[in-house]
Structure 1
Amino acid sequence: MKIRTKLIIISLSLLLIPSLIIGVSSYYSAKEHLDDLGEKMLKNNVEMALQLIDSMNYAVQTGEISLEEAQEKVKQNLIGDLQSDGSRAITTNVDLGEDGYFAIYGSDGQRIAHPFSEGKNAWESVDSNGIYMIQDMIKAAEKGGDFTYYSREVPNQPDTEEDKIAYTALDPNWGWVVSASSYMKSFNHGINLIQHMIMITLGMSILIGIIIIFLFSRHLAIPVQLITESVQKIAKQDLSFNYIKVKNKDELGDLASGINRMTASLRDIIQSVSSSAEQVAATSEQLTASSEQTSTASEEITESIQQISTGQDKQLFGMQEANNSVSQISSSITEITTNIKELNDLSIETSKVSLYGNEVITQTVEQMNQINEQSMVTTEAMRLLESKSQEIGEIINVITSIAAQTNLLALNAAIEAARAGEHGKGFAVVADEVRKLAEESGNAANDIAALIGEIQINTQNTVQTVNEGKIVVETGMNYVENAGKTFEAIAADVNLINDKLSSVSAEIQEISANTEVLVNEIHKTKDVTNQSTSYTQHVVAAAEEQHASMVEMTVASRSLAEMSQQLQDLVSDFKSI
């Protein structure tokens, strides 16, 4: 339903309802007032009739007139003269309304005076509603006078009944029940004129009100319709309509102006959003391409860093192996030092034995008897010397092997230091020094091995000589000089061995010191490698996070591109001028 129709209906309702209420209330108020006037008129006329009877009764009492004449005059004055057919023509000037009349009843219902049926008994008269109106009238009169309401046929209209009212009172002089009755419509026939005037007034008011309402509703409905059409077009994303032209200087005019401003703002916003959406779409495409490139680069960086991390793990493992090898070298050097010390002690002991043998040779003459015993001692000493020489040879072999391993480890350490780059430069220098010392130790060990070989040969010759001395004790004196020379050579060789052992001991101590430096450098390199590995792991984690962020950024930029496309689609749905 349109707002204009609603406005007309509401306005007509506001016009009709009060008008009907006023008209109906006025009608019933006037009707009630006329009914009251009619009742008062009937009552006053009955009281007038009672006064007339009282005056006639006074005339009878004074002898001016007989009772029959007095009663007849009362009947004539109240109703009219008696006709030949027993009825009375209503000729009284008393106004009881149209079709109203007086009637006089006896206490038994006998009609003493009546316009139509005088002389008849009406005690059993009843109306269509079952009301015994004559009996009720007599009862009302006996109670001091009152009204009786009932229905009777309208004269000359036997099929039509109307409400009647009668006021009855009892005459104390003659015992008559005097009644004045009339139809209710006779009292309020003026209400019809009032009703007619109310209807005319109401009709004119409604007609004028409809014209005013129509014009006023048109004044309101047209702007509302224009505003509604504009709002519906806006709801359908159509901004191509012209501005609303409303001349109203009220809220509707303000509303129309507001919608015009809103439409203009929407047009500007749509254009701005459309332009921004295009820029966002282009930017999102660039961002997507950049994100994909960055994501690919970050993925490659992550793989490279992971490879570096794997290489550092291998390098750390190699450093651990080098550390273990150097630790083994250090332990071996310590053991070599101990063995060299023991060998030095044995050499000193051998020197002492050689000196002692020389003394024996010088005292050979005096102690020839002790040659056999001394030869046995010498033989045992030579065997011990041979055993120790063999042990020294084994030690030299160990030293040679250790030197070779040290050289190999130094070479590996130099390779790992070269891989470590800047962090391995110091370690490479130490590894080179270790390699040189290993080569020198190897060369010294080879020299010692040669000397030990000579000692072993000499020892074997000495043992053989001693054994022959046992057999040829008789010729011992001839060999004493040779034995002395041999002992001198042994002493010289032992001194040479002592010198070589001292040199080897010094070199071993230097190797031990360099080994400690190498161990410290390896530890430092290991710590640097561990720290580098930790940093690399952090870098790997950061690179992975960056790669994940790039992937998310790529997804977000694609989503942004889709949203900008959707925004462009939505904006394109709006129609503008």
Structure 2
Amino acid sequence: MTDELNQRVGFYGLEGVGPDLAQLGQVVEPHLKDALAAFYGKVSANPAISGFFSGRSHMDKAAGAQADHWRTLFRDGFNQAYLGRAQTIGNVHARIGLEPKWYIGGYGLVLDRLIHGMVASGWKALLPWKRREARRLSLLVRTALFDMDIAVSTYFTAESTEREAMLDQIGTALEKLADGDLTVRMAGLPVKFQSAEIHFNSALERLHATISGVSNGIKSIATASSEIRAASDDLALRNEHQAASLEETAAAMNQATQSIAESANRTIEIRSTIAEAHSQASDGGAVVRKAIDAMAQIEQSSQQIAQIIGVIDGIAFQTNLLALNAGVEAARAGDAGKGFAVVANEVRALAQRSADAARDIKNLITTSSEQVEGGVGLVGETGALLEKIVGRVGEISELVLSMADGATLQAGNLKQVNSSVGEMDRMTQQNAAMVEESTAAARALADETANLLRLVSQFKVAGQAAPRAANHAPAPARIVASAPQVSGNLALKQAEPDADWAEF
């Protein structure tokens, strides 16, 4: 047996009464059926109690179960099985709404019949003092039970009043809580319910703090998400413009790269052309040097011719002198020398012509020498100029070569820059796509935050009022202190299969 059952058995002085209970059962058994029949006959005539039964068969079944319960009690005593059966009966009565006054009153009526049957049954009923003893015992029992009924009913009424007060406060608080008011608090509950009041208020305090924190956090998130959304929109717009500008820059850089590459190719061609010109100028310088050498040789030949002309001029002078001497000798010879004089004249005339011719040739040679000398000077100057031109062409070739190398290097660098710009353009396009996704996410976050803010704003916290929720579940029906009386059919449905009877 449990400690509670032991305490109760000890308080009632029922320890070790097993044999007495068995003997009492034998005494009660002959009168039990009549007592229960009389009781249920009175129950059927009382509408306040008969409504708990569906009919006479239900009452007979309840009477049989009650008799079995008592027989088992008299036989086995106050053990754990008895406690379980008694608690089951109490739970059934509580579920169907049977008030304790009818239960206690029922015991009074049954005990009245049992006492009369035990004290003044059979021939003893003819003895007046036995009947008086039975009436007095029955009156004592019924008076005690009636007094207990009043006390217990008063106790349960007080319990019901306090429970009603608690349930009223709970109902009001839950109704306000259903409307989103988190500032509601419970106060002034009876002492036995103060723990519920403390826990309820503590729970609402924590819920209030949580909703307040969530509300403030959502407001901050809403502000931040709005700023993020605006910044994302602005960034997306700027990134779009930047992507377009970078795309145009990439196209322009590509064209510039192609143009510089073409210029580098043309510079290479120019370098080749200048190299050919330098080679040709060098060849021209060699030709000029040969011309200078030839003119020098011509000058030497002219000098030799002048020497030869001098010799001829000398020969002509000697010839003329000999012709003059011959004419003098012919004159001395007279007539014999006339023929020789003619020959001398002819020789002198020939010598004169030779001298004239030599003088003319000398003049021509002199003029030619002067011209050749001038030509040699000009050719020398031409050679010097050609040397300078060759040097300049060499310098230009080196400069063009350097320019070509620089242009090639710049073309390579521009190709790298163009590749980098293309990569930047690709990355910018990817960044633009990512910014668009971020903007969409920021918009979704802002929408979700607004939705959360709308949901949280349904709750009323300290310092602000919340609108009544548009749609929420209706407040549950308030639980009364004691269940109302129900019809017999409903009692049948609520009663357990093995305990669907009312014990009185």
Q: TM-score, normalized by length of structure 1?
A: 0.41
* Structure with the higher helix share, 1 or 2: 2
Larger radius of gyration: 1
Q: TM-score, normalized by length of structure 2?
A: 0.46
